[in-house]
């Protein structure tokens, strides 16, 4: 439970792409243990302190939503797991990010101070990494996890940035140009994971 004055961070999983290089939508990928990447990312955000958690779907939307429904009992607050459908998901990552931010801006809950966003294809994301990124946020926060000096995810974006970020979005680059132009704070997370995103399926 959050107090009225405590900063809240929403979680945002970007999972709308077709996964053309992978061979199927990454929202439908299941790891070797049987865990869907989609469920893993949403659980990591919730366990890391995010509320609500939004999942943006596009390609493979119906079966991906079924995966989330099947895992609902594993979430502390399944009612705070929101699915957003990006109608124009084929335009690229920016369209999916815009859909998620638009949904957040539509909510009347102004206690959401920032959003922590992750793509669905970072399977070693964990709650500890999320917690490190969302600590002591403000509406002006702009920070990004770094692994071995390389920028990765989560990215945390304070609500004062949402409107200008949405106005800047184009193509398949997401928030990258905005983060670079505004010198986002780098948060070292080398001790917590690799931060690697997975573009290709494992070799058999």
Say if residue 204's pLDDT is above 60: no
Strand partners for 156: 116, 143
pLDDT, tens digit, 9 for 90 and up, residues 77-119:
999 999 999 999 988 889 999 999 999 998 866 789 999 999 9
DSSP 11-30: EEEEE----TTTTS-GGG-B
CB-CB contact of 37 with 121 (8 Å): yes
Residue found under tokens 């704070």: 185
| Alpha-carbon span 4 to 170, nearest angstrom | 35
pLDDT, tens digit, 9 for 90 and up, residues 135-168:
999 999 999 999 999 999 999 999 999 999 999 9
DSSP 128-172: HHHHHHHTT--TT-EEEEEETTEEEEEEEEEGGGHHHHHHH--TT
What is residue 60's three-state secondary structure?
strand
pLDDT, tens digit, 9 for 90 and up, residues 25-64:
999 999 999 999 999 999 999 999 999 999 999 999 999 9
| Alpha-carbon span 95 to 125, nearest angstrom | 23
Strand partners for 84: 56
What is residue 7's three-state secondary structure?
coil
What domains appear along the chain, each with residue ranges and CATH number? 8-188 (3.90.550.10)
Closest to 121 measured CA to CA, from 183, 28, 50: 28
């Amino acid at each position: 439970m959050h107090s009225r004055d405590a900063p809240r961070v929403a979680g945002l999983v970007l999972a709308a792409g077709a996964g053309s290089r992978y061979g199927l939508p990454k929202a439908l990928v299941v790891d070797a243990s049987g865990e869907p990447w989609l469920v893993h990312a949403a659980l990591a955000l919730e366990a890391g302190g995010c509320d609500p958690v939004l999942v943006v779907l596009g390609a493979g939307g119906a079966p991906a939503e079924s995966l989330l429904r099947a895992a609902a009992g594993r979430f502390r607050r399944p009612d705070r797991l929101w699915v957003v459908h990006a109608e124009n998901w084929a335009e690229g990552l920016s369209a999916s990010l815009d859909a998620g931010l638009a949904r957040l801006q539509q909510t009347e809950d102004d206690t959401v101070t920032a959003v922590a966003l992750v793509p669905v294809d970072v399977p070693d994301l964990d709650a500890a990494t999320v917690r490190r990124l969302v600590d002591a946020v403000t509406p002006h926060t702009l920070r990004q996890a770094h692994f071995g000096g390389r920028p990765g995810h989560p990215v945390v974006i304070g609500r004062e940035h949402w409107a200008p970020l949405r106005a800047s979005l184009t193509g398949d680059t997401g928030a990258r140009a905005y983060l670079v132009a505004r010198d986002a704070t780098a948060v070292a997370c080398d001790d917590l994971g690799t931060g690697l995103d997975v573009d290709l399926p494992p070799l058999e």
